[in-house]
Amino acid sequence: MRGPRRRLEVASAAVLILIDLGESRVHLHDPDDFTRFSVAVEGAGDRAALERVLDESGLGRLREDGEHVVVDPAALRALAGSAATDAWDEGFSGMCAYAAGKGWMEDDGVVAHIERRDEVP
């Protein structure tokens, strides 16, 4: 019980990537906030539903632990759209450097923890 409760306590108020399983949609929230990189999952669905949305959107892949998504940097940049300016690239590069120092980078992207919004009481 302590494990899930701790995950919810450290969850950020603002989430960078929102995955809506009910609508099979991925949305980028607050694209310039590189201090709280995470993925929030909303809506009913299991691991297979999440993997399907990740695959269809091209966002990345679910790690084997089921608690993290490896986000493809090119997909994140595409989601940022017009917000992906030179300043955005600089902020993203800084975030990736920080993540690499913490061991949160893999060959195919940046590791983001999953916040399951439906778990919050």
Contact 95, 71 (CB under 8 A): no
* Per-residue pLDDT at 119: 53
Q: Is the torsion defined by CA of 42, 120, 44, 61 positive or negative? A: positive
| Per-residue model confidence as pLDDT tens digits over 36-56 | 889 999 998 999 999 999 999
In this structure, what token pair is assigned to residue 39? 């993925």
State pLDDT tens for residues 75-114: 999 999 999 999 999 999 999 999 999 999 999 999 999 9
User: Alpha-carbon distance 37 to 31, whole Å?
Assistant: 10
pLDDT, tens digit (0-9, with 9 covering 90-100), for 9-30? 333 444 489 999 999 999 998 8
Cβ–Cβ < 8 Å for 34, 112: no
CB 60 within 8 A of CB 77: no
